[in-house]
Structure 1
Amino acid sequence: MSLPASPIPALSSITVDAATLHILQQHDARLLRAPASLTKLMTAHVAYEAIAREGHAWTHSTVIDARDVHAVAADETRMGLVPGETITLGHLLEGLMVVSGNDAALALARHLAGSEAAYVQRMNDTAARMGLRDTHFVSVSGITTPGHVSTAHDMAMLAARLLADHPQVLAITAQRHFSHGTFCKDNQNTLLGSEGIDGLKTGYTRAAGFCLAATACRDSEEATHRLINITLGAPTREARNAWVQQCLQEGFAQLQRSAAISARG
């Protein structure tokens, strides 16, 4: 892909075919940086692993620990958990992925691993098994913490693995709205439903900038293709969204050109 002069000099970006992992576009994709709430792609993957391997079920309930609520009381990104309430693990996963609940991340970690520290160790062990050599997690939520880093490339590989292993996550990430008790919030991924986009995760901190793990699926005469774009470090939500749309559009155009060439050959 031939990139225009970027209006976003701090941006890192990569676009890959979700099935083949073929890179269609990249721009500073291996630059170490804070991944913000894109971290929760790994939080979710580890949760799916625990559910599958350790006798848990998404219908199982957990009682919310006051420590996990108070720890994020000042955060905008929470799902509105209340100390002592009982909630299913499936609803926590929705709160994690739809509205990026930091309280949901802590509650899942405590229930599935006993503590955030133990859960973070699982996240780093999983990253190592996936070959994400430039990724290191310090929290389950992605709050700005020294040493909590990744790259656009590693996040793309993680997103592809999450989709391959647990495609049912798309039914969650495509949700436009979320409610829990009196708490209601829209999904911050305003690209949902546009040109086949059905996930995956937004992120923002002052240190990370505006980030997005986006995936889109489109049908052609030859096949169905799913692309993943990771964009980190955009200065505004609008700039991030415009960049992601441009990258996905050009990625699908590349696939069409390749298919046309193959058909002629």
Structure 2
Amino acid sequence: MKVNVPTIDVNAFNTFAERVKELDNQQGTTNVMMAGLLPGLSVILAIEAAKELSIVDEVHVGFLQSANALAGAQGAADMLEIASSKLPNGHRGFKEKRVFTNGRKSLTLRKINHSEQAVMKNVFNKATSHYWTSWDIAPFNKLVSTLIALRALPKYRHLFARFAKHRPDQSEEATLFVELTGLRNQKRTKSERQLTVTSDYEATSLVVTGLIPLVLINKVNGVVEPWQMATVQDLPVQKMKAK
């Protein structure tokens, strides 16, 4: 900020974004926070889905992760920390379950306390938001849930994350779900969006590359989130769909 260099950051934690906001300067340097697939694009998809509703009461964001994702030890540790955080009501995270539908498949995801809920609250201030995730291997989800119950996570998340191995010859497909409930023509209804990607890291990179032109033309100054400067049409969403 001191030398007026714009930035795009993909940190997943709202506490870091809030700290950067405290450091915002008078020059109005553009600093985009939490600019990835989740968090980031998930809010933009929710805004797109909300166009079909007059009132939004509830938002559900689901993320089916690949256990084969090329996330690296730190990325895996961050997600394990998120999964093992307590929910706002004090209950254990990654325990309560909810079913999302992907085509003819029913996928069971688990409730988590995600930093993006604070961002979603800013967008839909009268709606409650819920975040869910799981990996695409059921035994791995049971293992993570057991380790959380034993309180081995998040304490030993870095040690556990080192066991994650990426196999380049196998799929690392991930799916993002956004489901809004509200009113349309005075009737309760749902509006949904789904995005299946070949890799969550690849999708995050595409979000960043889509934001770069908007940052360079100073479309929005100061510390912002992706939804404040971009729409689905601004980002290369079509390239993110799985092959």
TM category, shorter: under 0.3
TM-score, length-scaled by structure 2 = 0.28
TM-score, length-scaled by structure 1 = 0.26
Q: Which of structures 1 and 2 has the larger relative contact order (alpha carbons within 8 angstroms, sep 6+)?
A: 2
